[in-house]
Amino acid sequence: AKYYSTSELAEKTGTSRQVISAIINEKWREKRISQATYDRIKEAMDDLGFVPDRTATSLKKDKRKTVGLLCHGPLYSHILTAIEKLNHHFLDQDIPVEMHISAEGGLGDGLRDLMGQRVESLIVLLSPMTRNFCEVDLKNPSILKLFRVVPSVIYNFPFGIHEQSLEQELIGGGAQLIGFSKEKAYTQFLKSLVKQKKTRILVDDKIFSLFKAGTQMSKDCEKFDRLDTYPNPQSEKLDQNPFVIGEKLAQLLLSRIKEYGYDFILTSSDRIAQGMASVFHESGLSIPKDINLLGFDKINSLPYFKHNLPTIEVPVQLMIDELLSTLRKQSWKGNAFQVEANLSEF
C-alpha cells in the first residue's frame, strides 16, 4: 500500500501543506484559495488515490456529531434487522457513522478504535451468538471504564442473564441498556407443557444455561419426568444453513428421541426447528402428536414452512423504536429499557 502524505501531495501539486489541509477540511474558501486551485488539487487527489490520514483528521472538530457503531460478534438474526433500520435512520438524518465489527474477546479493541476516531456517541449491538451472551467482555473492568467516557447504548442486552450488579454498573456509568428477557417467555412455555402433561423434554444446552437455580424456570423444570440436553448445533457453524443444521441434528438425535419418547424439543432457531421437524416427519413421527418443537425468533418466512411450530418472538420492533428514540432525543443518561419476549403459538 502507498499512502501519500499531505507533504507529498503538496510537492506533487506544487502547493503547500497549508493549502492541502484547507482543501481537505473544506476551509479553502476561508483561506481565499481559488476554485481553480481547489479543482486541480481535488483532481490530483483522485488520480493518486489520496486518502487523508484519519488519525490526524480525527483530532479536528467536525461540526456534525459522528456516531460509532460497533457490531460485536457474528451478525445474526434480529441484529441484522437492527442494522438495516439504523442504516435508514443514519441516511435520512445525514448522520456520519464510524463502523467496526469485533469478534469475541475484541470488544475493548473495537471501542478504542471508534473512540480513537473521536465519535460523539456509541451504539454497541451485541450478537446473540456470542459465548455466554458476552459475559467475559462486559465484565472486563477496562471496558466498563470505556463506557463511562462516551455516551453509549448497548442494544440486545441480555437482561436476567448476568449478575444484577453488572447491569447497575453499566447504568451507573451512563450507558443505556436496551434488550429483553427470555425468562418470562420460557416460564410461560414450561408451564404450558406441564398443563398439557408434556413431561419429557430435550433442551439445547445454551437454552438450558438460562435455567439458573432458584428461578421460576428452574422450579418448573423439577416437575418434568425427564429433562435432557443436547449440544448447541450452531457453535462454530454460523456460516452453514440453519435448516440443514437442523436436519443433521435430527438425524443424530433420532434414535435417542425414539428411545426416550420426548414430547418436546427446545431449539435456538426457527430454521433449526423446521429442519429437525422435516426429518422427524419423514421418519414417521407425527408433528405435533408424537413430538413437537419450539423455535426462536419468529422469522418472517415461517408461514412458508410446512410445519406450524410454536416459537418465541423477539420484540425487535420495540427495541429498535427505543433505540431510534434515544438517538433522536440524545437522552443518554443511563437507563434500562427491558421488554419481554413472547411465546407465539404460530
Higher per-residue pLDDT: 297 or 133: 297
When mean pLDDT is compared across 71-75, 303-307, 331-335, the lowest value belongs to 331-335
Pairing of strands 226-230, 200-204: parallel
Buried b (16+ CB within 10 A) or exposed e, 41-80: beebbeeeebebeeeeebeeeeeeebbbbbbbbbebbbbe
Q: How far is CA 146 from CA 99, 126, 140, in A?
A: 17, 16, 10
Can you tell me the distance from the alpha carbon of 346 to that of 199, in angstroms, rounded to the nearest whole number? Answer: 21
The values of phi and psi at residue 74, to 5°, are -60, 135
Can you tell me the distance from the alpha carbon of 20 to that of 56, in angstroms, rounded to the nearest whole number? Answer: 13
pLDDT for res 143: 86
User: Does residue 313 have a pLDDT over 70?
Assistant: yes
Instruction: Check: pTM over 0.85? Answer yes or no.
Output: no
User: Does residue 161 have a pLDDT over 90?
Assistant: no
C-beta of residue 72 within 8 angstroms of C-beta of residue 42: no
pLDDT digits (tens, 9 = 90+) for 319-341: 999 999 888 886 667 889 998 88
Residue 2 CB coordination number (10 Å): 6
User: Does residue 165 have a pLDDT over 60?
Assistant: yes
Share of the chain above pLDDT 70, in %: 94
User: Does residue 272 have a pLDDT over 90?
Assistant: yes
Over range 105-133, report the average pLDDT.
86
